[in-house]
Structure 1
């Protein structure tokens, strides 16, 4: 099958009628007569018989020119040879798109496939009808039968109109709803609004939703159905939930079952978007779930406000955290320095898995903002501190006191009950006949439901004075009914007393697991989430910010409905309640798409669609654009015509003369251009990425070691960047064994980056963020071992430091997998990869250089980022005569020399990595030095 021939610009074919007039013009105008020179009589012998000059163009020549003109018109008309199957039926082509969160990670591929299918329909003279399966914000109006009318671009339209609106096609932060869409399409088929027997393409996210079987049956009824998806090789991922386990955050990831392993990077970010930590989750072959543990120091643990997956941006791979996920700060005050005797030792060990523990004095801890204070055998409290404690408790603080010898005789008003003088001990005046066991916890106690166990015994305690309200204040008691834990509400806070000690002196409670469970229940009284819930009241939570389909926070849509506090954990995220933050500013609570952590139920399963599918871009991969080979043939014919003209004028066939170099060069360039154009990919095929390089580009970039610079759109900045790398290349050639070619300008959104070991990236004023294509290429380049030298040129502060031009760099690298950074010292391998350096100046001095944290060690690897603010290109830049373009620097020639040495070190670092930090080669180096 040769395939169907169509044109992207058929109107240009009308120009073929002009070939008739062109024929008469060419035929009437002969070629220029042969030129005869007569410098001397001696040359007459070289002149053959005189022929009269031609009056008309030779037939073979005007046929050649007419052929070139005709092929040029055909090439400009954009012929495309469609070698795939023809579209079935007649009328508009039906396109059905899953635009829920499962399709967000690679939604650009879906837009590309839609555009190509629309162009395919346009070449066949047919319109397109696009139906999306995810409901709009607020849900479909008018009942489920209005689903098709409310779906984006549901009416039949032209390919040009569809292509113009694809950029605005929205990804919804909830799952598709195939069932109502199927019902509406069935109704439209019954009424004849949609013709049957046509071509139907279903761009599926690969997941089986409720009603997917019904939709597939309906689409098969509508015409010849083709299901396109990339789910078999690129399964959708979801972030199921997170739990606090010890000092870490443990996130659960889900995917459809696959028979291959898969690694995914989890990012923990602060409220301002800063990357605080990352972890890796590994799916085993055939596994549905994986776990990523994010280890964070206590100072950063409570700053985490968002978890998301790298390179998998969607509402389902984003988990928002609110005050309920924050570990409360607990302050410990007490005496004792011997670890196994100090009560603070046992308290801190028990609290560390679920609280941020700090030790100090009462006033300092209150000033530090702790939510809970535990006083272990602290007696009388100073009057001023006592007043501060009372105010702090009234404002929501929780004070827990543990008994001991000092507290036995205290009376400072900071106790929930009155105490008897002295204490009750086994064998004392108020003694038991035997140690008492822990009794059952009251039903209204925070400890209700815990197993008191049989091994907990108390040998000594402080006794409460009996009163009418003592039973209501008792949260734990001994087997004989004696109160062990009493509490009282004061203002918005709590005052709690544990009547035994926090070490094993008075009981073995601290050595039992129930003690940890009791502390965990007590800590919930001070958890910011519980306090936030308590402050919400019964009011309805108004949406503050919501996620879009790509996991980006933004203002809530007016159609989003509020929800009540009681519904927060039971309400699934959807069109009426999108994932996001609900509630007043400062106390907003998070509603996530995939809910809290726990067993995976049916709502969160990512099962495969039960249908035969094809790769997403398979529908048009057989198309072949004929314009490049036709235009290449035109170039060859024009070159032949030029050579014929030279020959007719005697420029090529004169005896004793060689072909002129210009003609030979013209022929070579023309043929080369034709070959390159003929091998260019068709416009209807898959767009080349970093894995499909243009041969000519790759050949040029790899014929020598080349440094690259990123174009900014500012001609002056780009020219200075190029001149800077030229100057650095000359120094490398003179001083090292590195021979670099001419620098290469690159656009991260279009050009492959993997061909260059080091890329210089100036960050000018007013720069914005990267697009999805540029972000993906940059992430792939950095993970693949490439190095980028970012130069903000002024100010101070890289990513994560809120000063100077760090703001511009953070905006540029939003969404890029940027590691934590550290300042470079003279011990770093970058400072000694060729020269021994202590500073790294450029046009500016006294700036800080930043690299990835952890690369200072010999086994720490190579930093993918080098960040600075020195404007190195200006210090390196030379003109065509080799003169420095910036004539003078503040530090004179010494500063320029240091700038060039840094450039040499950066290139050596990119080419040799941590070679200079490898102690394996130290004996060889010393031997060569003669040591």
Structure 2
């Protein structure tokens, strides 16, 4: 309902205005509370005449004031909005497409405000909504695709769907979205308008989608005000220099000067550098040179932009960022002083990324560098063999090259056995042509680096074909002979280039490939890294970033990174991959393009700005006005009561004095009247009633206007509070799952136990409430008959108090199902995760165990896998022989999830287990879950039934 510039979102609630006349009559007909005055003597009533008086009505000011309070509350409930934003026509269904890719994170609050306004508009106009998003997500084990189109949805369901949307740190999939919409003929037939919430950045397929939608229905493009004013800003590159670092900012063309601040943080998240930056007009790239001391630059872990929460505005450094110390072994007096010097190419390749020192072997070993580089035979090795061996064993990396000598190095610091002499081809006396370099294999740390065709080799050191030569080879020529070999030695490593570091044997040192090889070698010499025989080429995720640039533990859908040359996607989001020295920073900024080319929208598209500056929510003012009027009513009532008490007190004193004077004149003498006695103070119930009325009115206003409503997340938070959780668990039995701190695992546990609870409710008499997450360090465990505990790397370890709570729970008859989730678990890992918990001796559950007979007849603990079930070997007789701990690795929570929709309801990004198991396996897993819960609730009841024939026979005697 619209009145001029004011729009009521809930006009039906204006019917409450019909109650105003009734309220007026009630207030006016209610008499004022009578005032009680105690007279000093009853003789004053002698001869008094009876004059009938009508009860006084409530004062007019009070009636008007309280009617205005009711009017303000009714208007607030109808939710008036001044200058409500209308983004689409008011009839027919609406298709809302939300760009939730990387570019939306910086303006996501405004996007959410725009989605809320669209829902309000649809609610007001009675429209249905179709919802589409542009960022792909992981589906199943290997599939990546856009989520399905939703709709038609009611405004309420659409609001819930919008609340579940979050920005993702990868690019949009506009061509796929175009195909999805084209396949849904029901959408193109039903919609009367299409709304695209996005920025002005171009992306593949974005203009094509706009053109096709414009031919179907009117297209409205909504931009955030921050995007219009400030544009898009990302960190596209961050390089280390000898004097500090250089950051490159990529942005759309600036219409005016813009200022920002670059913020660098260390591993603890503390700010160590703030550097102002100015973006010039009509530029798309800004380079910032920041001078920093080496130790401060080494400590930098992330560099971001102030007041921009986006994965594209955050650059992580990774292990290769820390500058290594490299010592190049030379003879006494040698050094790179000339352009033709043999160390020139080596110095140019390493110096931008490490600190180089030239010296003899003895002096360099005394400095303990991270890497030693030597060419040919090592000068001074004879007296330093023991020191060099100890340095390598403690984690040093020795990198060797072929030298000028025609003979091969003959010492023991080599990764392979070399043949005498060297191989020469491509010369005037050779029939062979120069060899090229093969692409690096997947067991090489250089995997993913492209090899230029112009790289050739004319001479090389030949290695003997030992059985392990393949594992030791990191690079080879086209004929299969090794070019770079390596071997680990204790905590250190030895690397051999089978060519010289100058350009007489190969043009490799002159190429950019030589620089890239050193960029991969330097991180392997990290002080935190200990060499292993096999170099990790599949780098597991350590931590990943969400769309806002916040770091968190990786979900199970995140796969190991094999090459950092691909743009982040749902399987490889930006973050840190690998371990220790091989940790690689996978950033989003370097892969973003098109920021300097704004998109060209169709002529018929209507471009609008998402802004709430002209839209005012009057419901807040109505509630505030009602509260102010209530305070005014209370104040006047209190002041009026005080004035009446003062007047009564004054009249009482005057009457008492007059009575005393009359008694003296009549000679009555002294009597019991106290002339100074004042009338009694009225009861405090008046003020109590006023306070109670204020509380009721305030709560009513909050409920009617929605300000007192509790969101699902808040309701869940309140339900998870300690007192509320214990109270609910005492009234309604329920299952519980252990909080691990890994969000994806916790969400999966809740979804699985919810599916099991629903199955129990349908098939058995166990009517359990919704499962709840518990923490032994804060929650009382005695209310839960069964606790499911999934084990996960990165989970929160128990404190001594939490372990004590858990042990007390087990000793008092509680039951825990421990799930390693991986068929079996290493004993060392199990001891670490369960440290402090008194796990009894476990034995494999026999086929006739009660847990397999409690409801269904089963022969094993079915789940996602087929690992055995382990139970107490000697259950406590005090607990009726019921096992307190059950252990296995069948990933039961995943196998209990009923449908994909249920999995998505809890917001878990893990793959759907229904895709991995057959319906028969799923059914058997649910049956085992039912047996498990019945066993936890009834104990050895089914075991007693086994002896029923013997008991009856004995009773018959």
TM-score by length of 1: 0.50
